[in-house]
C-alpha cells in the first residue's frame, strides 16, 4: 500500500510538472508564465528604466541616446553605421512585439503565431502581394551601397537587442503565446515599409 501511494504521488507530480511546463492548445506553459522570478511578474514598468551605460557588441564607436520627457529617443552617433544600428536597437527595445506582428501580417504568416484563426487574414495579405513587393524593394535597396549599409546596420541593431533577451526579459506577449522572436532581416524592414504604404494609402 505504501508503494502504491508513492507511485501515485510520483505520477501526480510528474503530471503536474508536464502540465505546467508545456503548452496545451493556445494555453501557454503556466509554470513559466507564473514563475515569480522570470514570468509575467517581471514585465512591469520598472523595466522601462534605461541603464546609463550599455556595452553592445557591433557598435564601432560611442553612441549617445538621450530620452526627452516623452521618452522619445534622440540618437547621437559618430558614424552612419552606429546611427542606424542604435536606431534598430532602440526601436526593438520599445516595439519588438509590434515589429514581429506587423512583419508576419504583411508576409501572410500571422497564423504561425496565432493559429488557425488568422488563416483568412494571411490569405488576404498574400493575395495583396506585399511580400512580393517587399522582395522587389529589397533588390533595389541592396543595389545601392548606402541604402544597403543602412538597412543591414539597422537589422544588426535589432538583432543585438534580441540576442540580449532571455525568458525573464521577453516582452509579455511572447510569454503568453510561448513564442520566441525571430532574427530581423532587411526583408522584414521592407515588409514594414509595404505595410505602412498600404495602411497610409487605404
pLDDT for 108 equals 97
Spatial CB neighbours of 112, under 8 Å, sequence gap ≥ 6: 104
Residue 152 and residue 55 share a domain: yes
Residue 61 and residue 15 share a domain: no
Residue 86 and residue 174 share a domain: yes
Residue 93 and residue 178 share a domain: yes
In a domain, 10, yes or no: yes
2 pLDDT band, cuts 50/70/90, is: low
17 pLDDT band, cuts 50/70/90, is: low
State pLDDT tens for residues 32-59.
555 555 555 465 655 556 677 888 899 9
Residue 91 and residue 131 share a domain: yes
In a domain, 42, yes or no: no
Examine the pLDDT at 31 and tell me if it is beyond 90: no
Residue 149 and residue 176 share a domain: yes
Contacts of residues 38-44 at CB distance under 8 Å and 24 or more positions apart, as own/partner, are 38/166, 38/167, 38/168, 39/175, 40/172, 40/175, 40/176, 42/168, 42/169, 43/171, 43/172, 43/175
Residue 196 and residue 162 share a domain: yes
Residue 146 and residue 99 share a domain: yes
pLDDT for 9 equals 61
Instruction: Report the number of distinct structural domains present in the chain.
Output: 2
* Sign of the torsion formed by the C-alpha atoms of 201, 106, 170 and 159: negative
CA distance between the termini of the chain: 72
In a domain, 39, yes or no: no
State pLDDT tens for residues 104-162.
999 999 999 999 999 999 999 999 999 999 999 999 999 999 999 999 999 999 999 99
Residue 97 and residue 13 share a domain: no
The CATH number linked to 115 is 1.10.439.10
Cell of 14: 510528474
**What backbone torsions phi and psi does residue 95 show, to the nearest 5 degrees?**
-140, 30
In a domain, 55, yes or no: yes
In a domain, 115, yes or no: yes
In a domain, 93, yes or no: yes
Q: Output the average pLDDT for the chain.
A: 85
Q: Distances in Å between the alpha carbon of 155 and those of 16, 86, 181?
A: 41, 10, 13
Examine the pLDDT at 83 and tell me if it is beyond 70: yes
Examine the pLDDT at 88 and tell me if it is beyond 90: yes
Residue 133 and residue 90 share a domain: yes
In a domain, 40, yes or no: no
Residue 54 and residue 30 share a domain: no
Question: Please, what is the Cα angle at 138 between 133 and 141, to 5 degrees?
Answer: 130
**What backbone torsions phi and psi does residue 110 show, to the nearest 5 degrees?**
-60, -35
Domain extent, residue 29, equals 1-34
In a domain, 23, yes or no: yes
Percent of the chain with pLDDT over 70: 74
pTM exceeding 0.85: no
Contacts of residues 36-44 at CB distance under 8 Å and 24 or more positions apart, as own/partner, are 37/168, 38/166, 38/167, 38/168, 39/175, 40/172, 40/175, 40/176, 42/168, 42/169, 43/171, 43/172, 43/175
Amino acid at each position: 500500500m505504501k508503494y502504491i501511494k508513492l507511485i501515485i504521488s510520483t505520477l501526480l507530480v510528474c503530471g503536474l510538472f508536464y502540465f505546467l511546463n508545456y503548452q496545451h492548445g493556445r494555453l501557454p506553459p503556466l509554470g513559466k508564465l507564473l514563475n515569480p522570478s522570470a514570468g509575467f511578474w517581471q514585465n512591469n514598468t520598472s523595466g522601462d528604466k534605461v541603464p546609463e551605460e550599455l556595452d553592445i557588441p557591433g557598435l564601432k564607436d560611442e553612441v549617445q541616446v538621450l530620452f526627452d520627457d516623452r521618452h522619445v529617443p534622440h540618437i547621437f552617433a559618430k558614424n552612419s553605421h552606429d546611427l542606424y544600428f542604435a536606431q534598430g536597437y532602440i526601436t526593438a527595445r520599445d516595439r519588438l512585439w509590434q515589429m514581429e506582428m506587423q512583419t508576419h501580417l504583411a508576409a501572410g504568416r500571422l497564423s504561425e503565431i496565432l493559429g488557425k484563426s488568422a488563416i483568412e487574414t494571411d490569405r488576404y495579405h498574400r493575395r495583396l502581394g506585399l511580400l512580393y513587393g517587399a522582395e522587389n524593394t529589397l533588390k533595389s535597396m541592396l543595389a545601392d551601397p548606402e541604402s544597403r549599409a543602412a538597412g543591414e546596420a539597422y537589422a544588426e541593431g535589432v538583432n543585438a537587442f534580441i540576442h540580449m533577451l532571455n525568458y525573464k526579459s521577453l516582452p509579455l506577449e511572447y510569454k503568453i503565446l510561448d513564442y520566441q522572436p525571430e532574427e530581423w532581416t532587411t526583408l522584414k524592414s521592407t515588409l514594414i515599409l509595404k505595410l505602412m504604404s498600404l495602411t497610409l494609402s487605404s
